[in-house]
Amino acid sequence: MRAFISILLKLQQILYTQGFGTRRECTALIERGAVSIAGEIARRPDAEFVTDGLQFAVNGEPWSFVERAYIMLNKSAGYECSQAPKHWPSVYELLPMPLRTRPTKSSVNGVQAVGRLDQDTTGLLLLSDDGQFIHRMASPKNHVNKVYEVTTKHPVDAAAVQALLTGVLLNDDPEPVAAAACERVSDTHLRLTLSEGKYHQVKRMLAAVGNRVEALHRSQFGGLKLDPALALGQWRWLTADDLAAISNSLQVL
């Protein structure tokens, strides 16, 4: 994550970088009075503003200028983490359009999910348009811990917890897979910490100890916990403290 440098940009360029359409569409928004800054309608596409901390509104909806988008989403069940979902709506539909159309240097515009959660899994999902950030967070070699709240079909005993910590064999993996931590919160509630990201890993690990996942919720990503004030389906920008918590979790590896 590179340091933010405050610059002067024309209003038309500001709207474009934030995902409000093509340059021509952004100009049209301004000229028809759809954009306001500090409560005043801005009608000049070439008017320049300092981007650092800039707040504006488009069609009455408030927006903050961000050079790079870093987002926390409390994912609802019933959404696929895909731009081209096959069976369920895309998780990107939970985001406002500007976040989905921000221009990027990659072939795909808009923010991208850092890893994936199954359609029936809820909880903390990070999204960004910063390719280096996404790679650092998602790369298996960085072993970033993720914490899951697991509701099981059957009660979990001490032997199952120990097996998950020692390592279990998955049906298509020759090497045992172990949890980084495993806490038995109640008979049917496990707090499971994983540093890998294998396909359906939590469900397959519980199946390996003779149990079944009834509900799955990700509560933490690295050093960052899901904001308890964030309702299912809601998102917010990551703060400087949030980003520091994630960075610190990488530095200790």
| Residues known to be catalytic | 118
Tokens in use for 207? 């199946």
Cβ pair 195, 149 in contact under 8 A: no
Separation in Å, CA 109 to CA 37, 67, 98, 154, 217: 26, 14, 10, 44, 28
Strands, DSSP E only, in the chain?
8-10, 35-37, 40-41, 48-50, 55-58, 61-64, 70-75, 112-113, 121-128, 146-152, 181-186, 189-194, 213-221, 224-225, 235-237
Let me know if 9 is exposed, middle or buried by CB neighbors in 10 A (0-12, 13-18, 19+): middle
Length of the chain: 253
